[in-house]
Amino acid sequence: MKVAVAGTGYVGLVTGVALAHIGHNVTCVDVDEQKIKKMQCGISPIYEQDLEKLMHENQERLIYTTDYKNAYKNADVIIIGVGTPERKDGSANLDYVYTVCNQIAESLQQDCVVVVKSTVPIGTNDEIEQLLRDNSAKGINIYVASNPEFLAQGTAVHDTLYASRIVVGVEDKRAEEIMHTLYKPLTLEPYNVPYLSTSRRSAEMIKYASNDFLALKISYINEIANLCKKLGANIEEVAKGMGLDPRIGNKFLKAGIGYGGSCFPKDTKALHWLSTCNGTELLTIKACIEVNKKQKLVLLNELINDLHCLEGKTIAVLGLTFKPGTDDLRDAPSIDNISLLLDMGAKVKAYDPIGIENFKNHVHFKLSNDGVKGTIDYYESIDETITDADAVLIMTEWPEIVNYEIGNYKKLMKEPRVYDGRNCYPLENTKEIIYSSIGR
C-alpha cells in the first residue's frame, strides 16, 4: 500500500519505518527541512534503539519530504502522527493536527483512509472527518480511523512491531477493510499482534484510559513508598508482594521520583480537563497529577532539610532525561530539580550519557535568567561529575549509573551523600555512604 505519514517524531517516524519494514511504500512528511535532510542521509533525528538500522534496511521503501501535496495526493492511507502538546489549561493543543487535515483536504486526488495516531480528545476524529469531507474535492471518499499508539520511548521500534495490541476505531466497513490490510502482516508470524476493532470514540478513550491508568499505578506506588520510608518498610519488597497478584501485575510498580516524558504528563492533564468540561471530574486523575508534581521534589526537599542552605554547595546531578534509553527531556524530574538548585545558588554539575546536548539546546528555563544565583556545568563521566561534590542527586537510572562503583562516591566526594531517586543500588551495598532512596 502507498502510505503517507505526517510528522517524524517518535510516533510518526517509528510508525512509518515499521510500516516500510512490513512491506508498504511509505512517505514521511515534515515541515522541518533540516530533519528531512538528516533522514535522507539515513540519520534519525531522534535517539531510538534500532530505528536507524531499520531506516537503512528499508530505504528503498522510504521517502522523506517536505512536499506534502505530492505525498498526500495519491496515498491509500495517510497517518497523522504530529504532536498534541498541552495548553496552559491542560487541554490538548490540536493546531498541528488540524493544519495537517487542511493540507490533506487540499491535496487529495483519490479515495483515502486518514488515520489519526496523535492522541486527541474523545470526539475529535468525528470533527476531523467532517472537516475533510467538507473541504476536499467532490467525488473523493474520505474515511477517518482512530489508531492510538502504545509505544514507549527507548523501546518504540519493538513496541510497534511486537505491540501488545493494535486498536483501530472505525465507523465504516471500507475503512475497517483497509486498516486490516494495512496491519495484517503484524497480526501474523513472527509478530502475532492482537487486532481489536472498535468504534472511533472507544479507540480514542482506550488511549487516554490506558496511559492514565499506568500513571495512576506510578503515583500510587510512589505514595506507598513515601509511607514505607516513614514506617520502616521496604517498597521493593512491598511492590514484589503486590506484583505477584495477577490482578495487579508487576508492571509500573517501581517507586521513584515521578513520571515524565511526552505522554503521561499531558495525557493525565488532558483527560482531567476533558472530564471537568463534561461535568464528570476524574478525581483519581486529579490526585495522580498532584502526587506526581510533589514526588519530583521529594529528595531535593530531603537534601535541603539535611544541608539547610545550598548556596555555594556543589550538587552533582546524575541523569537528565526522563528515563534511560532516550534523549527526551519532556517533563523530566531533572528540570524542576536543577531549576530550584540554581535558584538556591548551588553549583550544579550535570551528567547524562545521551541527553546533555539536548538539555543545553532546549532547556533555557534558568540559563538565560539574570536573577539566577547558581551555575551549571556539564561532564562526560560520573567520576568528573561527583568529584568534590557535597551531594549527589540521581534522576535517571542509566546503566552507567546503576553499575557505577559505589565506593567512588566515598573516594571522590567531599562527603559521600547520595540521594537516589531511582533506587539504583541495593541497600546492603550502601553502608559506606550517606544514602537516601525512595521508600526504603
Distance of CA 41 to the CA centre of its chain: 26
User: Which pLDDT score is estimated for 372?
Assistant: 74
Give the residue-averaged pLDDT of 170-192. 97
User: Which pLDDT score is estimated for 362?
Assistant: 73
263 is catalytic: yes
SS3 of residue 72 by DSSP: helix
Give the residue-averaged pLDDT of 128-149. 96
Give the residue-averaged pLDDT of 21-48. 96
Neighbours of 67 (CB within 10 A): 12
Query: Which listed CATH number (2.60.120.260, 1.10.1240.10, 3.20.20.70, 3.40.50.720) goes with 296-436?
Result: 3.40.50.720
Dist CA 439 CA 436 (whole Å): 9
SS3 of residue 183 by DSSP: helix
- Cell digits for 27? 512517505
- Cell digits for 239? 511492590
The answer to which of 173-182, 253-262, 361-370 has the lowest mean pLDDT is 361-370
CATH 3.40.50.300 fits 207-294, yes or no: no
Q: Does residue 93 register a pLDDT over 70?
A: yes
Query: Which of 434, 429, 400 is CA-nearest to residue 418?
Result: 434
pLDDT band at 153 (very low <50, low <70, confident <90, very high): confident
**Helix pair angle (235-243, 200-231), 10° resolution:** 140
Q: Where are the domains of the chain?
A: 2-198, 207-294, 296-436
Dist CA 30 CA 36 (whole Å): 7
Comparing 365 with 281, which gets the higher pLDDT?
281
Average pLDDT over all residues of the chain = 96
- Cell digits for 363? 532547556
Taken in order 377, 382, 387, 391, the sign of the CA dihedral is positive
Percentage of the chain beyond pLDDT 70 is 98
Distance of CA 310 to the CA centre of its chain: 31
Q: Which residues contact 95 (CB under 8 A, 6 or more apart)?
A: none
Cα–Cα distances (Å) from 199 to 126, 144, 168, 170, 172, in that order, read 11, 11, 8, 5, 10
pLDDT band at 365 (very low <50, low <70, confident <90, very high): low
Taken in order 245, 194, 164, 267, the sign of the CA dihedral is negative
Q: Does residue 371 register a pLDDT over 80?
A: no
User: Which pLDDT score is estimated for 36?
Assistant: 97
The stretches of 23-94 forming alpha helices (DSSP H) are 33-40, 51-57, 68-73
Q: What are the tens digits of pLDDT across the range 57-92? A: 999 999 999 999 999 999 999 999 999 999 999 999
Is 333:55 a contact under the CB 8 Å cutoff?
no
User: Which pLDDT score is estimated for 414?
Assistant: 97
Query: Which of 161, 167, 121, 131 is CA-nearest to residue 146?
Result: 167
Query: Which of 362, 392, 370 is CA-nearest to residue 379?
Result: 392
Is 355:329 a contact under the CB 8 Å cutoff?
yes
User: Which pLDDT score is estimated for 366?
Assistant: 52
Q: Provide the 8-state DSSP code for 86.
A: B
SS3 of residue 379 by DSSP: strand
Do 2-198 and 207-294 agree at the fold level?
A: no
Give the CATH H-level superfamily of domain 2-198.
NAD(P)-binding Rossmann-like Domain (3.40.50.720)
Is 326:295 a contact under the CB 8 Å cutoff?
no
Query: Which of 240, 357, 342 is CA-nearest to residue 300?
Result: 342
The answer to which of 166-175, 232-241, 290-299, 371-380 has the lowest mean pLDDT is 371-380
Q: What share of the chain is helix, strand, coil (3-state, %, to 5)?
A: 45, 15, 40
Q: Which of 28, 263, 288, 424 is catalytic?
A: 263
Q: Does residue 160 register a pLDDT over 60?
A: yes
User: Which pLDDT score is estimated for 195?
Assistant: 98
Q: What are the tens digits of pLDDT across the range 285-340? A: 999 999 999 999 999 999 999 999 999 999 999 999 999 999 999 999 999 999 99
Q: Does residue 241 register a pLDDT over 90?
A: yes
